[in-house]
Structure 1
Amino acid sequence: IIKKSIPGAGACGGMYTANTMASAIEALGMSMPYNSSNPAISNNKEEECIAAGKQMRILIEKDIKPLDIVTRKSLENAIRLVTIMGGSTNAVLHFLAIARAADIDFTLKDFQHISDTTPFIADLKPSGKYLMEDVHRIGGIPAVLKYLLKNGLLHGDCLTVTGKTLAENLESVPDLEEGQDVIMPLDKPIKATGHLRMLYGNLAENGSVAKITGKEGLLFKGTAKVFNSEYDANDAIRGGKVEKGNVVVIRYEGPKGGPGMPEMLKPTAAIMGAGLGKDVALITDGRFSGGTHGFVVGHISPEAQEGGTIALVKDGDTITIDAETNSINVEVSAEELAKRKEAWVEPALKFKKG
């Protein structure tokens, strides 16, 4: 069992957070070609380490700095790849932070625009059947990037750490292997638009992030089952207290309330393990592991600790999540929510230092 579940060194094999960010950083131009898809225990990986040192010297000699590479266009390339690959919701957090550090105006609306104009075509875990080693087998991330570039989905003129543009890097790269079914053709996608959806509504006035591949449907309407911590939710799911038609609400797990916005992998995994993946949704002001799949919405803002609407939800409230209209709402009147807000008392922080 151990040999099958952990076959070797390196990141977990699916399109989880590690492989999402590794491949996206390659598309961004901040890592060497093939860096993200070469297996960890391959000779290629050893050669990459040596090449990276040599390349650092070239970058210093040419005075190429990160801000020469990280631009709005290269960010769009990275998010485009995340979208076609079915990458982790954590990419939203990371790339918003990267954009802010680079002083680039990049918001949830930009993610949504890219998702609306990009098909989801990679049949990779957690929602699909293949792993990153299969991407390597059919040509690696450079072959995927070349396919996207040829079809007009990438900016080829972006500078990369090779000192060349993305298009120049891909000139000699072989095409994707013919007959493979890891990366579907753009005209026969798994989903016509991206899996990342930026949802707004009275439950998320400042936005939220959903990862919906379409396999779990595009609309979920159910009754709230509210928990003030991940641990309480885990106990309830294990105890059989979560039923078909429930929307599990896990709150006070945001950046301030968590603190630190912990990932909700255990409850989502428990829901899938209980066979409720298509019948139960989960929403939270926390975040998710890249391994999470199912009907899930995270990053809900304002968070509960700040008095966001998620703090006002009660057991039995009806919640509607609609990935077609990009909306998330609790069916409670504005007047009733105002009464609940007036009665709400901010709980003490879980930790005062550390």
Structure 2
Amino acid sequence: MSFKPAAWPRKLRSQEWFGGTGRDQIYHRGWMKNQGFPHDVFDGRPVIGILNTWSELTPCNAHLHDLAERVKHGVYEAGGFPVEVPVFSAAESSFRPTAMMFRNLAAMAVEEAMRGQPIDGAVLLVGCDKTTPSLLMGAASTDLPSIVVTGGPMLNGYFRGERVGSGTHLWKFSEAVKAGEMTAEDFLEAEASMSRSPGSCNTMGTASTMASMAEALGMALSGNAAIPAVDSRRRVMAQLSGRRIVQMVKDDLKPSDVMTKAAFENAIRTNGAIGGSTNAVIHLLAIAGRVGVDLTLDDWDRCGRDVATIVNLMPSGEYLMEEFFYAGGLPVVLRHLGESGLLHRDALTVSGMSIWDEVKDAVNHNPDVIRPVDKALTRQGGIAVLKGNLAPGGAVIKPSAASPHLLKHRGRAVVFEDIDDYKARINDEGLDVDETCVLVLKNCGPKGYPGMAEVGNMGLPPKILKKGITDMVRISDARMSGTAYGTVILHTSPEAAVGGPLAVVRDGDMIELDVEARRLHIDLPEAELKERMAQWTPPTEQPESGYAWLHQAHVQGADTGADLDFLRGCRGAPVGRDSH
């Protein structure tokens, strides 16, 4: 840890707007004063933007106004001037065609909001899946001092005495209805149990995973990730973060100081230990691309391969985020990694301390929730990166959520050309499929869907479910919800919509999966595969909106983070000329 705080006091960028007696400064201050701000808040104290992804159409974030007020308390206490700034909020549960399509738009909007307005530092107030990575991407692009405050997970759900994990039980109950094991009426009754408090998913889905990634990267205060949304300690965390960002501005502690290659390696190993979402792969690759760190899929496999999954949470395990918090939360996991030689202990955090100093005294209060290695859910957790002639750019699978007997498998392909083809045929009793087959879904990647929707965890055919079979090998260029489970191969690159090998898979082709060997192979002679690819023609469908056109023209592959090509790299936050 080699960070050296900047000398203080110094002139802040906000003073280009507010400092002085010239016409332009009076213009900027005068309009701000119509809200009742006293003159002395413009006297050179740090201006902190609370970038708030609150929206009533983003249910996970609908409680963030209260947290913003707590952040303001902390900023004022530390001698700063807080301003709440609404930013683009992409809701996982309501955005179409998929929230992922708008992650990059949100990141671009956040970047320009930070660059174009008089703030010296930012509190990134996030929760729902895409809000955390999009704000981290925007902050990385400007490199202004920033700290993450997440909204926290929902309380546990219960249905007839059983824990109900948001998302995870949605998939489970839906399949049970199709199999005739649960009535539609019971499914509707269970709905009321799934989301019984404010907050994000209470499983180790993408929201909780990305909250954990922010903490493991060092971009949030220690303990932030797991505090339930309605717990009073979530408000305390927000207030302490408000205090801390003021000092970060004074020290000029920036995202590039914290999010180093070592920090990303810590996050990858943490993802393996918690059984985190496959979506973290894409988001961390994108964030790294913004901050200028060379992170690849190979790093994911190298760092995560030998990490045991010790957090016993759905969808991989038994418990929910509430129990994870009571057990000690992410600091316990980070301490375990540090004691196992799997943590870069000296990695800097937004607290100004090393990550090891933050977690070295963490105590595990429930060894069934956070298990010792000899009782791990899986000894080799993490995200496995597969390659082969079907995925020359790579594909990913989450072994802790897969069926062990399917991790090495050979089966006949049953192919769906796109999600509409899948929906039209999957329930057909005449579908030529059995449990040994491999379901293949095309054209659901960054360009193909467009936006790369969470449809990779395809529901099984009812005729298979009725046999008592609950898992099959599934392959696509799509994503899946972090709350989902199964032997699901995702992010196959290059995707079908750009002519990757996935595009030319046909019904009856034999596909071989070997997770231990990291192999994904279609059993075709090389010459035939090349001939098929040479005959492939690209889709001709045109985007429906201006942003969709921009996205389609510039989105990169899943193997590099699915960012827009012109947004990669840190552009900084210089003060532009004032025309008033």
TM-score per shorter chain, which class?
Answer: over 0.9
**Comparing 86-95 with 284-293, which one deviates more in the overlay?**
284-293
Alignment of 1:250 onto 2:441:
yes
From 324, 348, 352, the equivalent of 2:516 is 324
Alignment of 1:339 onto 2:545:
no
From 177, 187, 195, the equivalent of 2:365 is 177
From 70, 75, 94, the equivalent of 2:283 is 94
Cα displacement string for residues 131-176 of structure 1 (whole angstroms, at most 9, x for unaligned residues): 1111111111112212222222211111111111112212443x11
Aligned partner of 1:163 in structure 2 is 352
**Comparing 285-294 with 71-80, which one deviates more in the overlay?**
285-294
**Comparing 145-154 with 192-201, which one deviates more in the overlay?**
145-154
From 365, 383, 397, the equivalent of 1:210 is 397
Letter in 1 for 2:219: M
Aligned partner of 2:110 in structure 1 is none
Aligned partner of 1:194 in structure 2 is 381
Alignment of 1:29-108 (within 5 A): 29-108=218-297
Tell me, in whole angstroms, the C-alpha distance in 2 between the residues paired with 1:84 and 1:221: 29
- 1:84 is paired with a residue whose SS is helix
**Comparing 145-154 with 327-336, which one deviates more in the overlay?**
145-154
Aligned partner of 1:225 in structure 2 is 414
- Between structure 1 and structure 2, the one with the greater Rg is 2
- 2:272 is paired with a residue whose SS is helix
Tell me, in whole angstroms, the C-alpha distance in 2 between the residues paired with 1:317 and 1:161: 51
Aligned partner of 2:65 in structure 1 is none
Query: 1:17 and 1:268, CA in 2 relative to 1: closer, same or farther beyond 3 A?
Result: farther
Alignment of 1:154 onto 2:347:
no
**Comparing 136-145 with 324-333, which one deviates more in the overlay?**
136-145
From 491, 498, 521, the equivalent of 1:299 is 491
- 2:451 is paired with a residue whose SS is coil
Tell me, in whole angstroms, the C-alpha distance in 2 between the residues paired with 1:136 and 1:256: 38
Are 2:273 and 2:333, in contact at CA under 8 Å, matched by a contact in 1?
A: no
Aligned partner of 1:277 in structure 2 is 470
Are 2:345 and 2:354, in contact at CA under 8 Å, matched by a contact in 1?
A: yes
Tell me, in whole angstroms, the C-alpha distance in 2 between the residues paired with 1:78 and 1:32: 15
Q: CA deviation at 1:35?
A: 0.9
- 2:458 is paired with a residue whose SS is helix
Q: CA deviation at 1:231?
A: 2.8
Cα displacement string for residues 58-89 of structure 1 (whole angstroms, at most 9, x for unaligned residues): 11111100111000111111111100111111
Letter in 1 for 2:314: K
From 474, 480, 491, the equivalent of 1:288 is 480
Are 2:269 and 2:382, in contact at CA under 8 Å, matched by a contact in 1?
A: no
Are 1:253 and 1:286, in contact at CA under 8 Å, matched by a contact in 2?
A: yes
**Comparing 257-266 with 155-164, which one deviates more in the overlay?**
257-266
Q: CA deviation at 1:212?
A: 1.8
Letter in 1 for 2:532: R
Tell me, in whole angstroms, the C-alpha distance in 2 between the residues paired with 1:33 and 1:184: 20
Tell me, in whole angstroms, the C-alpha distance in 1 between the residues paired with 2:330 and 2:536: 49
Q: CA deviation at 1:266?
A: 6.3
Tell me, in whole angstroms, the C-alpha distance in 2 between the residues paired with 1:62 and 1:108: 34
- Structure 2 unaligned residues grouped into runs of 5+: 1-189, 549-580
Tell me, in whole angstroms, the C-alpha distance in 1 between the residues paired with 2:460 and 2:369: 24
Query: 1:171 and 1:120, CA in 2 relative to 1: closer, same or farther beyond 3 A?
Result: closer
Instruction: Give the count of matched residue pairs.
Output: 351
Tell me, in whole angstroms, the C-alpha distance in 2 between the residues paired with 1:122 and 1:66: 28
Cα displacement string for residues 207-251 of structure 1 (whole angstroms, at most 9, x for unaligned residues): 111112254432121111111212321333333434312211111
Q: Among the aligned pairs, what percent are the same residue?
A: 37
Tell me, in whole angstroms, the C-alpha distance in 2 between the residues paired with 1:206 and 1:19: 28
Query: 1:252 and 1:176, CA in 2 relative to 1: closer, same or farther beyond 3 A?
Result: same
Cα displacement string for residues 37-58 of structure 1 (whole angstroms, at most 9, x for unaligned residues): 1000000011111112111111
From 325, 334, 344, the equivalent of 1:136 is 325
Q: Which has the higher contact order (CA 8 A, sep 6+)?
A: 1
Are 1:147 and 1:176, in contact at CA under 8 Å, matched by a contact in 2?
A: no
Alignment of 1:15-34 (within 5 A): 15-34=204-223
TM-score under structure 1 length normalisation: 0.93
Are 1:122 and 1:184, in contact at CA under 8 Å, matched by a contact in 2?
A: yes
- 1:233 is paired with a residue whose SS is helix
Q: CA deviation at 1:273?
A: 6.5
Are 2:456 and 2:490, in contact at CA under 8 Å, matched by a contact in 1?
A: no
- Structure 1 unaligned residues grouped into runs of 5+: none
Letter in 2 for 1:305: A
Are 2:456 and 2:476, in contact at CA under 8 Å, matched by a contact in 1?
A: no
Query: 1:330 and 1:265, CA in 2 relative to 1: closer, same or farther beyond 3 A?
Result: closer
Cα displacement string for residues 253-298 of structure 1 (whole angstroms, at most 9, x for unaligned residues): 11112211111166247789765433x2111111111122111111
Aligned partner of 2:112 in structure 1 is none
TM-score under structure 2 length normalisation: 0.58
Are 2:271 and 2:382, in contact at CA under 8 Å, matched by a contact in 1?
A: no
- 1:146 is paired with a residue whose SS is helix
